[in-house]
Structure 1
């Protein structure tokens, strides 16, 4: 029962909430804000909306819109230099997980001198950050409420920085920002959030009562709305439910840890640029099936919480139902379910398995069931 739970200072969920950006930034005492985003945010007009709100409150704004997926360290450092040159005193992250992860590090690094390579790990960042507001435009990563940023180093390896300073002053959830998401991105990010909830609830090392409660509610929201938002992305109420589910799942996993699904997904993103949520979706069902003998009770609890209308004769039956539901859900979203469909060559499998076994062991150690390198390779083969 001993645990520490971290969360952002303030969470706002409101349709049209992006118009509050100027007031919120002013409340933080800032006058020069850099907006960190990808080119799509500019094309969709979200950046102009943000700039207008800031200008209304007399806040100068500069835009760094060169964020790419699986943010490379070189790009993060370019964003830091951009913010320094502007004389930024605050940072606004607008977009998906890559933009929000980049924005966190910009806020942390602009005023300091600590090299990013010395931050990899947990609680190794030593400096304070500038005021930070994060506004997600996808319902998946939960990055707006986590104290982690994941970057890709020069060798193509995923590196995670866990630091309490990365939690924002404000997490601003505006579901209207997610209305334009295409079905595949909606599906991938939604499944990513579901993975966060499931892995948090079954974590062998970090599981705790607060994260458990958030994970259950997150999975209820996500599981009951994901098919709807994939089929009809214009449903604002369903979009808001997905966004809130993603936020709750983010708060759960960052305080309880993710596990093998994320571990096996990382090389797919870093090496072959498969979007993170899609990478998780590919290995999600087979790893849950692998974990079933060790996570029967937890899977059964999740099944009963998310399917209250169903009656299960035993924990084994309930747990099997949860895994079977996930096995049916992933292909039903329209996502490719084989690595070969996404350009991953079969001869890459041994190297990916080695990377997971040697370089991402911290996540495997949180998995409810031990996993050998041969078993990791076998799971990759099963979805090739």
Structure 2
């Protein structure tokens, strides 16, 4: 067995209705003055109200920061950090999708330590300490509540990340009730995102790919594969929603320690340049990256995909492993179509003339590309984009 390190969230509450008891679950650890990080869309429907009422009933003074946007910018992070300092926050709550949780993570770090974000970018560069941190996901996709990573958009479209165990929260609260109102396209895209996390974690070439991450990735795909079509077709199915949240978090635990690779590297330019949601960006390139990987048999990725195939899609059990890997790729592409997601880049308004620029931009994601089972050059990235177009 190769040496490895496994870090994850300290405490997890997985129960419907648990967000409405946030004060009881987290009040003591967060202290008396909280910054509650969320977005205006969730506030417009009042999804945050029970959680905030619970925190206030427990004696907390809650300041709300609701300016988080999709693909949050550095300016948004700086504004959230200033809000935390202005209210002298003793704790941070991130409530929402991956964007709100990513901003909350770095706000807790920057407000708690006073360090410069420019010195924290990259892997293992954050110094800390951070403020106490609680994360409450409202989508089943990013797994950000269990990952040591936060992604921020710098400049026009560059995605830049901080990766450090300091960003793991003290508590994650998984409450299916918060996801019941999600529209089908968001439910589908975030669900595919979670599946990508599990797939890439399992096949990652990273030196820290380990038995714990592998186990969690496999269990995540069992839960996600069994429930993703149900939550899209039966949006009020609470049990399926709770299973998706759990699957998403398990996938987050997996890739938080065995990092993702080329699917994400090629997805980031799509989101950065065209503001396409991250889950959909992943779905658009997923089958084409996996096709690229298994085309080179020596890297062994087909073994990983063959092992995962019947977990996500039980009908693929049996048969030769190489054939099973190819069938897995086909089934993932068909799944996106069944879920109603656009299958091609052109269906999302991306012109063919943008593909070379995207390929060049993807090459900047070196921290991800090194984890891919097969080396990806700029010409390879362009060929993958053309296949997806």
TM-score grouping bracket, smaller chain normalisation = over 0.9
Matched residue, 2:176: 175
State which of 351, 359, 372 in structure 1 corresponds to 2:357: 351
Structure 1 residues 244 and 75 mapped into 2: Cα distance closer, same or farther (>3 Å)?
Answer: same
Q: Secondary structure at the match of 1:133?
A: strand
Q: For the aligned residues, what is the CA RMSD? A: 1.3
User: What is the Cα deviation at residue 40 of structure 1?
Assistant: 1.5
**3-state SS of the aligned residue for 1:28?**
helix
Q: Which residue of 2 aligns with 1:11?
A: 12
Partner of 1:148: 149
Deviation at 1:342, TM superposition (A): 1.9
Of 380, 384, 388, the match for 1:383: 388
Deviations 1:61-97 (A, max 9, x none): 1100000011100110001111111121111000000
Counterpart CA distance in 1 for 2:328 and 2:244 is 19
Using the alignment, how far apart are the partners of 1:317 and 1:324 within structure 2?
11
Residue 198 of structure 2 contacts residue 220 of structure 2 at CA under 8 Å; is this kept in 1?
yes
Q: Which 5+ residue runs of structure 2 have no aligned equivalent?
A: none
CA–CA distance in 1 between the matches of 2:139 and 2:313?
25
Give the Cα–Cα distance (whole angstroms) in 1 for the partners of residues 168 and 191 of structure 2. 22
Distance 1:362 1:51, change over 3 A: closer
Q: 1:314 maps to which residue?
A: 320
Where do 5+ consecutive residues of structure 1 fail to align? none
Q: Secondary structure of the equivalent of 2:51? A: helix
Equivalent residues of 2:232, 2:339 under 8 A apart: yes
Mapping 1:287-366, distance limit 5 Å: 287-292=289-294, 293=297, 294=299, 295-308=301-314, 310-357=316-363, 359-366=364-371
Correspondence for 1:226: 228
140-149 or 77-86: which moved more?
A: 77-86
1:255-313 CA deviation, whole Å, 9 max, x = no partner? 00100000000011111111000100000111111112341111111124344565423
> Partner residue of 2:218?
216
Distance in 2 between the 1:14 and 1:190 partners?
19
Whole-Å separation in 2 of the counterparts to 1:177 and 1:155: 32
Aligned-partner Cα distance in 1 for 2:316–2:123: 41
> What is the count of residue pairs matched by the alignment?
383
Partners of 2:267 and 2:281 within 8 A in 1: yes
Contact 2:198–2:251 (Cα < 8 Å) also in 1: yes
Determine the C-alpha separation between the residues in 2 that align with 1:310 and 1:362.
33
Give the secondary structure class of the aligned counterpart of 2:250.
helix
2:269 to 267, 270, 278: 267
Whole-Å Cα distance in 2 between the matches of residues 288 and 370 of structure 1?
12
1:286 correspondence with 2:292:
no
Q: How far apart are residue 381 of structure 1 and its match?
A: 1.2
Structure 1 range deviating more: 52-61 or 301-310: 301-310
Moved over 3 A (4+): 304-311
Give the match's secondary structure for 1:312.
Answer: coil
Q: For the residues of structure 1 that align with 2:88 and 2:351, how far apart are their CA atoms? A: 45
TM-score by length of 2: 0.96
Pair 1:239–1:226, CA change in 2 (3 A): same
| TM-score, with length taken from structure 1 | 0.97
Quote how far apart the aligned CAs of 1:25 are: 2.9
